[in-house]
Amino acid sequence: MKTLPIKIKGFMLSAFILFLALFLWHVATVPKYVPPAPASSGSAEYNDLMGKGAEAVQKTGFPTLTQMGATIYKQLSHPFYDNGPNDKGIGIQLAYSLGRVALGFLLALVVALPFGFLIGMSPLAYEAFNPFIQLLKPISPLAWMPIALYTIKDSSISGIFVIFICSVWPMLINTAFGVANVRKEWLNVSKTLEVNHWRKAFLVILPAAAPTILTGMRISMGIAWLVIVAAEMLVGGTGIGYFLWNEWNNLSLSSVIFAILLIGIVGMLLDVLFGKLQKVVSYAD
């Protein structure tokens, strides 16, 4: 008997886990009917008049699946409405966050690639700059936010700076590692053919180091998407992080959960995109 492919088995198992999680969610949040307290006939008539008869009460304050469905439909049916500074659709909020991430990430890419090439190709540059990299790399990106707000004095640009500072290190380190570990045989061949430095960098070193560089970019994007949400919760204004915090202040737990799910889905799609790019530049030994 032919067995199912592992991908189909994995999909079926994932679907079962999702169904089980939703079922447990439903069981935990299904409302229960609370009968009214026993009272005289006059009190019973008063309770009926005031709508205080037997009624459904949620076991917890957690939203039910029905409430979540209504919230998701409401948010996705009009994602680009704009009713003022504090009332924008989820599509607009998401666009602001992605724009900040893209700009900060590109700035980090512009700095990390050439600097990583320099450190990877020059042992002297590596020894000179490595102590500073190791000192700055472990610092939380959000620790830079007060300095950014004080010097830049703009919350949106400060968020872009935080994305830059958190994205540059994985790309820089992976680029330097990939460049430094290009096969010596390939470098010797380019030297034998008297290839100049620019052609060697673009035609030999860059293709060989590309998988490692893409790994650094993939890590950087994951960190950037994680950090921008936290940064927007701190500085406010616009963005998916601000939307999440604003909905929490409005005590709309279903909207908070919707924002969390959306953040996870977007992060997963970004990771899948960079995973596809990694496969494109990978090569067989």
Inside any domain, residue 59? yes
Question: Which of the two residues, 139 and 182, has the higher pLDDT score?
Answer: 139
C-alpha to C-alpha distance for 3 and 45, rounded to whole angstroms: 66
164 and 241 housed in the same domain: yes
Query: Does residue 109 belong to any structural domain of this protein?
Result: yes
Gap between the Cα atoms of 49 and 231, Å rounded: 50
Read off the pLDDT of residues 224-256 as tens digits, 9 standing for 90 and up.
Answer: 998 988 888 887 778 898 899 888 888 889 999
Kindly state whether residues 107 and 143 are assigned to the same domain. Answer: yes
Do 118 and 174 reside in the same domain of the chain? yes
> Domain of 147?
90-281
**Domain annotation covers residue 50:** yes
Statement to judge: residues 171 and 37 lie in one domain: no
Q: How many domains does the chain have?
A: 2
Look at residue 71 and tell me if it is in a domain.
no
Residue 271, domain member (yes or no)? yes
Instruction: Say yes or no: 56 and 99 in one domain.
Output: no
| Domain shared by 126 and 257, yes or no | yes
Do 141 and 249 lie in one domain? The reply is yes
pLDDT surpassing 70 at residue 137:
yes
Give the pLDDT score at 173.
Answer: 93
What whole-number distance in Å separates Cα of residue 249 and Cα of residue 62?
Answer: 16
277 contacts 262 by C-beta, under 8 angstroms:
no
Say whether both 165 and 268 belong to one domain.
yes
Domain endpoint, select from 45, 63, 81: 63
Are both 21 and 113 inside the same structural domain?
no
Check whether residue 53 and residue 172 sit in a common domain: no
Domain assignment of residue 81, yes or no: no
Report pLDDT digits (tens) over 196-232.
777 777 777 788 888 899 999 999 999 999 898 888 8
Q: Is residue 104 part of a domain?
A: yes
Tell me: the pLDDT tens digits for 155-164?
888 889 999 9
CATH number at 122 reads 1.10.3720.10
Whether 117 and 192 share a structural domain: yes
Q: Is the domain of 47 the same as that of 186?
A: no
C-alpha 225/C-alpha 208 separation (Å) is 28
* Rounded distance between C-alpha atoms, residue 197 and residue 263, angstroms: 43
Residue 3: half-sphere exposure toward Cβ, Cα within 13 Å? 5
Directed axis angle between helix 155-180 and helix 90-121, to 10°? 40
What DSSP element (H or E) covers 38? none
Residue 106 falls inside a structural domain: yes
54-113: per-residue pLDDT in tens?
455 555 678 888 889 999 999 999 888 888 777 788 999 999 999 999 999 999 999 999
Q: What is the tens place of the pLDDT at every residue in 39-53?
A: 544 555 555 555 555
